[in-house]
Amino acid sequence: MNLQNKVAIVTGGAMGNGLGIVKTFLKYGANVVIIDCAEILDDVVKEFQNEGMPVKGYLCDIRNRTQLDEIMNEVSLQYGKIDIVVNNAGVAQLGTFDTMSDAIRDFHFDINIKGTWNVTQASLPYMKEGSIINLSSVTGPMVADPGEVAYATTKAAILGFTKALAMELVGKKIRVNAILPGYIMTPMVEGIALDTNETEPNTVIEGIAEGIPMKRLGTIEELGELAAFLASNASSYITGQGIVIDGGSTLPETKSVGV
């Protein structure tokens, strides 16, 4: 893949899947702007910069549309354009539907849906062509477990957003696609494992891996490679699609049946 001289916005790029995307984009020559609300952002950006990598970071909550507008304007003034937008930032908190508070519901909706909307709308005036990549999930569009109603709802919405936006922007030579990860080894997955079993989270991870045909979780670098493909001209005839990366976890019809 060739991302030379491309300017990429990556939300939630300080850790997890976002960090894998940032690393891969840099490998292929992109200039990367990370937008994240995590305090670790400054350390991550400094580490990349110390290695001579073209990275900038903005501490921002993507629910703040005014701040996003200011950031996109500043990026445009520095680079003259935005070529790639990756809406990776998202949250997941397990909780049963009948006991979930409006606050937790809105936390998911405001960040996962409205945040993605905000970042995309704020960046569009500076995109003449390019690629928008939204992080959906297999959870929601394809599968779900108990306790995931809020998260699954938002990730299904992101896939619908992707398809509708792709139709609106195709005439402007802007492609819009979604990545649907299964289990990738990220802090979010580690947190879910810890919530499930505080004393033995590694056992939970091992159990998850056992249910995946490839018998392992994916890496953030593997997801980053898929994002780089969708960001590059190598995927120039792909738009409005949801691409699954899950090690085959959604393939088995009945997981308990062996051959």
All residues at 6 or more sequence positions from 47 whose CB lies less than 8 Å from its CB, including other chains: none
Distance of alpha carbon 164 from the chain centroid: 18
Mean pLDDT of 167-184: 98
Exactly one of 28, 58, 126, 151 is catalytic; which is it? 151
Q: List, for residues 56-108, the tens digit of each pLDDT value.
A: 999 999 999 999 999 999 999 999 999 999 999 999 999 999 999 999 999 99
Residue type, 79: Y
pLDDT at residue 242, rounded to an integer: 98
What superfamily in CATH does domain 7-182+219-245 come from?
Answer: NAD(P)-binding Rossmann-like Domain (3.40.50.720)
Mean pLDDT of 210-216: 94
What 8-state DSSP symbol labels residue 218?
B
As annotated, the residues of the chain forming the CATH 3.40.50.720 domain(s) are 7-182+219-245
Q: List, for residues 14-48, the tens digit of each pLDDT value.
A: 999 999 999 999 999 999 999 999 999 999 999 99
Residue type, 32: V
> By C-alpha distance, which of 53, 62, 57, 61 is closest to 31?
53
Cβ atoms of residues 135 and 184 within 8 Å: no
pLDDT at residue 256, rounded to an integer: 60
In whole angstroms, what is the distance from residue 13 CA to residue 246 CA? 20
> Within a 10 A sphere around the Cβ of 235, how many other Cβ atoms?
19
pTM score, two decimals?
Answer: 0.94
Specify the higher pLDDT residue, 194 or 134: 134
Q: List, for residues 121-158, the tens digit of each pLDDT value.
A: 999 999 999 999 999 999 999 999 999 999 999 999 99
126 is catalytic: no
In whole angstroms, what is the distance from residue 25 CA to residue 7 CA? 10
pLDDT at residue 254, rounded to an integer: 78
pLDDT at residue 212, rounded to an integer: 94
pLDDT at residue 111 tops 90: yes
The alpha carbon dihedral of 102, 104, 63, 171 has a sign of negative
Q: How confident is the model at residue 201 (pLDDT cuts 50, 70, 90)?
A: confident
3-state secondary structure of 7: strand
Q: List, for residues 47-69, the tens digit of each pLDDT value.
A: 999 999 999 999 999 999 999 99
All residues at 6 or more sequence positions from 232 whose CB lies less than 8 Å from its CB, including other chains: 1, 2, 3, 28, 131
pLDDT at residue 246, rounded to an integer: 97
In whole angstroms, what is the distance from residue 38 CA to residue 5 CA? 27
- The DSSP-derived string for 226-249 is HHHHHHSGGGTT--S-EEEESTTT
Mean pLDDT of 226-242: 98
Q: How confident is the model at residue 170 (pLDDT cuts 50, 70, 90)?
A: very high
